Structure 1
């Protein structure tokens, strides 16, 4: 029986570049980090639960079109987009509006797709 999603994993090629992106551009803190020589497994535990793992242990190439995309809930989509664009981060979309959220798709330093997601305030029922 499935219990939960343990982690989402993305392949990386340049460990230092990926760490700079996730730790400095997105502000995540590395949790479990292990390596065997130049092969790394990095985990980022997210404040609201969940875990993102980055690794160069596998031969898969990073891809924005691989099918899976992690979606990060953010507090201020506009401010984060401005900060990331100032760092040269490529966005694959403008802000997308849905009935419940605003979101935008960008690429990490390795070319993987990331969806930034901000919930809209709920109307009082």
Structure 2
């Protein structure tokens, strides 16, 4: 019955700050920003390998690193991205850790949502 993951959404409290992080620091490009009401926004980012990531400022969900869900972004150069983010003051919830097939680190967006940055070892 299920066909695919339609989107992953994170709640944010400050749309301008969130867009500066996701677009300015991570380089995501929006394909759709909608006003849901007078002061409510929904922002969508199509991801290069497929899928959609969205931000919303109108849900009752409270952004938090321990909210139970984490998106994992596959990256081409984990060391370079970590250095770039740290140089721009991004907080990390973990140091780099290794599995048999990948390297990962967890950073926090400006609202405290956790993002797992992931690089396969064969890349």
Shorter-chain TM-score bucket reads: over 0.9
CA distance in 2, matches of 1:69, 1:4: 17
Could you say which residue in structure 2 is the equivalent of 1:23?
A: 23
1:42-74 C-alpha deviation (Å, 9 max, x unpaired): 001001001101001212110100010000000
Could you say which residue in structure 2 is the equivalent of 1:3?
A: 3
Could you say which residue in structure 1 is the equivalent of 2:103?
A: 102
| SS of equivalent to 1:19 | helix
Could you say which residue in structure 1 is the equivalent of 2:82?
A: 81
CA distance in 1, matches of 2:14, 2:39: 10
CA distance in 1, matches of 2:80, 2:12: 26
Q: CA RMSD in A?
A: 0.9
| SS of equivalent to 1:18 | helix
CA distance in 2, matches of 1:65, 1:44: 23
1:16-50 C-alpha deviation (Å, 9 max, x unpaired): 00000000010000111101221000001001001
Could you say which residue in structure 1 is the equivalent of 2:59?
A: 58
Could you say which residue in structure 2 is the equivalent of 1:93?
A: 94
Aligned pair count? 122
| SS of equivalent to 1:4 | coil
Which 4+ stretches in 1 moved above 2 angstroms? none
CA distance in 1, matches of 2:122, 2:2: 32
> Which consecutive residues of structure 1, in runs of 5 or more, have no partner in the other structure?
none
| SS of equivalent to 1:32 | strand
> Which consecutive residues of structure 2, in runs of 5 or more, have no partner in the other structure?
none
Task: Give the TM-score normalised by the residue count of structure 2.
Answer: 0.97
Q: In the TM superposition, what is the alpha-carbon distance from 1:110 to its structure 2 partner?
A: 1.2
